[in-house]
Amino acid sequence: MGFVILNILVLLLIIAGLYFMQKKHLSFSKRVFAALGIGIVFGFALQLAYGAESEALASTIDWFGIVGDGYVKLLQMIVMPLVFISIVAAFTRLKLSANIGKISGLILAVLLGTAAISAAVGIAAAAGFGLEAIQIEQGDAETERAAQLEEKFAEVEGQTFPQKVVELLPANPFLDLTGERPSSTIAVVIFAAFIGMAFLGVKRKQPEQAEMFSKIVDALYAIVMRIVTLILRLTPYGVLAIMTSTVALSDFDSILKLGKFVLASYAALAVMFIIHLIILAVFGLNPITYVRKIIPVLTFAFTSRSSAGTLPLNVKTQTKKLGVPEGIANFAGSFGLTIGQNGCAGIYPAMLAVMIAPTQNINPLDPSFIFTLIVVVVISSFGVAGVGGGATFAAILVLSTMNLPVALAGLLISVEPLIDMGRTALNVSGSMTAGLVTSKAVKEHDSDVYNDRSAETSEAY
């Protein structure tokens, strides 16, 4: 217990150092990167000192979870209120009412279009690196994971595409406000949009009641955004604890054995991120400016492995630094949580399908297989949860639809957390790309905010 207390004291000293940096007015980005770097070094030191399987390390990481996991839970706490009130406010402030259909359609088109491209990138990466499932040794962990996947598959087996579409609708909006279902976020968006459309109807016939409702929504919006700001100020501390825990518990032997798969995954993620930059350049946006301004967001997404937890930071960066209107930013961020995730629902299941196909005597480079796989990936990208495990759900849907054994998806269990970090960062970049492209397409983008260099280092949180 003495070593555990010592480790906790070291963490508290580092947190005090990060707080001192804040008091010295160092930028948010610098503090986040400092937390990331210190967390990696601290995590390595803990594993070297105690060993990945030690009881002291397990107990230490459990205590560190108060800071790391606690921070993620605070972010998840505000996700549904933020999504709900932001969409309703977009209607009460008349920012989206004229273009609501066009904006929604454009965001979905970008998300699904990039999901299709990411699937193609995943196929190319798996084929280019010569990845095959038979190359991976199956140990106890892999066998246990395979059994879990078979169990999850039984829950979704037999669901048709129309049934999956119906699942997106909010039969019980109060249940969806709890985030209980994988498609809860989209259901809340739909529910909020109905309230917004009802508001527009009341505004025409009963303007006094509409005015009162609008003031209530504005007050709630101000409160929710203040909560978001308070939570985001804790980001460096959350990143520190999460990164320390991740590195300390990493199985480096397995990572080295599966280095080829990790390398192929990150090569695909990097290529897809470059494609995001190319898309932005086509729409007249400087990709270098984009990268500079989103680094803190991607850093948190990378460490937390939660697209949902990153939503508040995602939306605030879009509006305050990238010049995207609040309504569009919230639609893009919210849709991006469960539709068209480029990393988890695009690249990952496509790579798995190509790896597993040869075990069933299927040529993964057959044009009909590739075309079918891309279509299935895009369709299956609806309703993937923006939290840890979303990629697994997407893989189950794709592999089962392609008549491939879902159990083999468990072969990468030992490197799953490492790959998932990059996938989540790409998911978030995809949603921000959708917001930027849509705001440019409907001519509501604020170029002055986007090009303002001071916003890159300003203390927004």
Do the beta carbons of residue 399 and residue 356 sit within 8 Å? yes
Q: Which residue has the higher pLDDT, 4 or 395?
A: 4
Supply the pLDDT for residue 25.
Answer: 85
- The number of beta carbons lying within 10 Å of the beta carbon of residue 72 is 23
Domain positions in the chain are 2-457
Question: What's residue 28's pLDDT?
Answer: 82
Across the chain, mean pLDDT equals 84
Q: Which of 312, 280, 256, 419 is closest to 71 using CA atoms?
A: 312
Report, as an integer, the average pLDDT of 430-447: 94
433 token code pair? 């790309």
**How confident is the model over 330-353, as a mean pLDDT?**
88
Q: What is the pLDDT of residue 411?
A: 61
pLDDT (tens digit per residue) in 69-117: 999 889 888 888 988 988 888 788 765 555 778 888 999 999 999 999 9
Give exposure, 342-378, as e/b (b: 16+ Cβ within 10 Å). bbbbbbbbbbbbbbbbeeeebebeeeebbeebbebbb
CA distances 359 to 133, 348, 352, 364, 408, Å, are: 7, 18, 12, 10, 10
Rg (CA), the chain: 22
pLDDT, residue 385, reads: 56
Place of tokens 């993964």: 364
Q: What is the C-alpha to C-alpha distance for residues 32 and 112, in angstroms, rounded to an integer?
A: 31
DSSP calls for 364-385: TT-HHHHHHHHHHHHHHTTT--
Question: What are the tens digits of pLDDT across the range 13-69?
Answer: 999 999 999 898 888 878 888 998 999 999 999 998 888 788 889 999 999 999 999
Whether the CB-CB separation of 303 and 40 falls below 8 Å is answered with: no
Is pLDDT of 418 > 50? yes
Q: Which class is 2-457 in CATH?
A: mainly alpha
pLDDT > 70? residue 297: yes
Average pLDDT over residues 345-367: 90
What pLDDT shows up at residue 275? 97
Which pLDDT score is estimated for 457? 47
Number of Cβ within a 10 Å radius of residue 206: 12
Helix (H, G, I), strand (E, B) or coil at 443: coil
3-state class (DSSP) for residue 139: coil
The whole-number pLDDT of residue 334 equals: 84
Q: Could you report the per-residue pLDDT of 101-159, keeping only the tens digit for each?
A: 888 899 999 999 999 999 999 999 999 998 887 655 555 454 555 555 555 555 555 56
* Residue 94 in tokens: 């008349």
DSSP annotation of 182: T
Render pLDDT for 244-287 as a digit per residue (tens, 0 to 9). 998 888 777 766 767 788 899 999 999 999 999 999 999 999 99
What is the rounded CA–CA span in Å between residue 261 and residue 396? 19
Spatial separation of the C-alpha atoms in residues 270 and 106, rounded to whole Å? 24
Tens digit of pLDDT for each residue in 360-388?
888 989 999 999 999 999 988 876 655 55
- pTM, to two decimals: 0.81
Which candidate, 153, 131, 140, 111, places its Cα nearest to that of 348?
131
Q: Which helix (H) or strand (E) holds 457?
A: helix 454-457
Residue 186: both structure tokens together: 């989209």
What is the rounded average pLDDT of the residues 154-177? 73
Confidence at residue 191, expressed as pLDDT on a 0 to 100 scale: 92
pLDDT at residue 274, as a whole number = 97
CA distance 417 to 37: 18
pLDDT score for 223: 94
C-alpha–C-alpha distance, residues 435 and 260, integer Å:
34
Alpha-carbon gap, residue 25 to 88, rounded angstroms: 35
Q: Which residue has the higher pLDDT, 427 or 51?
A: 427
pLDDT, tens digit, 9 for 90 and up, residues 205-249: 999 999 999 999 999 989 998 898 888 889 899 989 998 998 888
Angle at 103 between CA 99 and CA 104, to 5 degrees: 120
